[in-house]
Amino acid sequence: MSATTRLTTEGDAAEIGALLRANREFLTPWEPVRPAEFFTDEGQRRLIKETLRQYEGGATLPHVIVDDGRIVGRVMLTGIARGPFQSCHLGYWVARDANGRGIATAAVGRIAGLAFGELGLHRVEAGTLVHNAASQKVLERNGFRRYGVAPRYLKIAGEWQDHVLFQLLADDERA
């Protein structure tokens, strides 16, 4: 498999916009309700600019997932906290045609490696919808451990939904 990740750039806006439009129906059950502008190239350009400002401030690490030279998804560390916490949140998605091929698993492994290596973090947390078994497998394959369920954790597909919470610590043994 040739999948990897790299830092998101403003030049990715059109490709990400097209990918989101092509996968809108596929991603809808797993995502917050988004305004129409989110799916436009210009909406993505603005979002990427803001995300890169947060990256420069040390609060995020936004990556695109690339397979055979094309963007097939995103993986991102957000809420990077320093001091005694040294922790962050992980989010990711892949396009329908990249689903089930180990691409998300590889991307999560790479970004976790950056979190613990380059960023020197202690903990990465991720949450999945209770019924999202595929995403839970991605996390488990990377050594994440389930530690609880958060009731009505995020508003996904227009409803407050429970999430299974996972974490990976820097000193955990990874799969």
Q: Which domains, ranges and CATH numbers included, belong to the chain?
A: 4-169 (3.40.630.30)
Check residue 163 and give its pLDDT.
98
For residues 53 and 34, what is the distance between their CA atoms, to the nearest angstrom?
Answer: 21
Task: Please give the angle made by the CA atoms of 141, 132 and 43, to the nearest 5 degrees.
Answer: 100
Check residue 174 and give its pLDDT.
63
For residues 18 and 145, what is the distance between their CA atoms, to the nearest angstrom?
Answer: 34
Check residue 99 and give its pLDDT.
93
Check residue 1 and give its pLDDT.
52
The strand pair at 123-129 and 4-7 is best described as: unpaired
> Please, what's the largest Cα pairwise distance for the chain?
42
For residues 85 and 24, what is the distance between their CA atoms, to the nearest angstrom?
Answer: 35
Q: What one-letter code names the amino acid at 166?
A: F
pLDDT tens for the chain, 175 residues long, are: 568 999 999 999 999 999 999 999 999 999 999 999 999 999 999 999 999 999 999 999 999 999 999 999 999 999 999 999 999 999 999 999 999 999 999 999 999 999 999 999 999 999 999 999 999 999 999 999 999 999 999 999 999 999 999 999 999 866 5
Q: Which of 97, 78, 81, 105 is nearest to 5 (CA)?
A: 105
Buried b (16+ CB within 10 A) or exposed e, 43-73: bbbebbeebbeebeeebbbbbbbbbeeebbb
